[in-house]
Amino acid sequence: MTELTATKEWKEHEKYMREAIRQAKKAYVLTEVPIGCVIVYEGKIIARGYNRRNTDKNTISHAEMNAIRKASKKLGDWRLEGCTMYVTLEPCQMCAGAIVQARVSRVVIGSMNPKAGCAGSVLNLLEMDQFNHQVEVVRGVLEEECSQMLSGFFRELREEKKRKKQLLTGEKQGSIM
């Protein structure tokens, strides 16, 4: 691959990752962990998803799972061969398993997940030779933007928890009791 081709391909990855980030922002507004996903087939977005676990009261309502369900319906097939998934955070074990089962061809990841990632951080389920399908993985697309959204979200959650605790205990911000 030439440098020009690589640059053009990287710009395309960034374009679709921005769409995944837009999905993550929908989760953010719902006070869900801001993870977003889009699935692209033949140059077109065929499915979008974002985290809705708390909203749906459903353990499997992750961005990737929601997008896979929509893409399968759109294509009329559970096999998503030829599809590329763009996701703002490295998939967990459940989502990585679903990606392999759905035969997604490529996954483009924004930010890695050192605590629960299964595309290279903790495990690498997507590229295991032992499975009948391996997924091409591209890492680090708009990594800074994806990481900042997540760290900002969790910082806000911690601050909110601290404010609530202070209200309950009668502590003033910054005072030592």
- Domain assignment present for residue 173? The answer is no
- Domain assignment present for residue 7? The answer is no
Confidence check: pLDDT of 170 > 90: no
Domain count, the chain: 1
Mean pLDDT of 61-78: 98
For 106-144, write each residue's pLDDT tens digit: 999 999 999 999 999 999 999 999 999 999 999 999 999
- Give the number of other Cβ atoms within 10 Å of residue 59's Cβ: 9
Given 64, 81, 90, 127, which residue is catalytic?
64
64 noted as active-site residue: yes
Band of residue 174 on the pLDDT scale cut at 50, 70, 90: low
Q: At what angle do helices 3-29 and 143-169 cross, to 10 degrees?
A: 20
- Domain assignment present for residue 63? The answer is yes
Q: Which residue in the block uniquely carries the two structure tokens 């990606």?
A: 99
Confidence check: pLDDT of 2 > 70: no
Instruction: Decide if 33 contacts 150 (C-beta within 8 A).
Output: yes
Tokens of 19: 């769409």
- Domain assignment present for residue 143? The answer is yes
- Domain assignment present for residue 23? The answer is yes
- Domain assignment present for residue 89? The answer is yes
- Domain assignment present for residue 85? The answer is yes
Report helix, strand or coil for 141. Answer: coil
Tell me which H or E stretch contains 106: strand 106-111
Range of the domain at 131: 12-167
The CATH number of whichever domain residue 94 belongs to comes to: 3.40.140.10
- Domain assignment present for residue 46? The answer is yes
Structure confidence at residue 63 (pLDDT) = 99
Structure confidence at residue 177 (pLDDT) = 46
The mean pLDDT of the chain is 93
Structure confidence at residue 5 (pLDDT) = 63
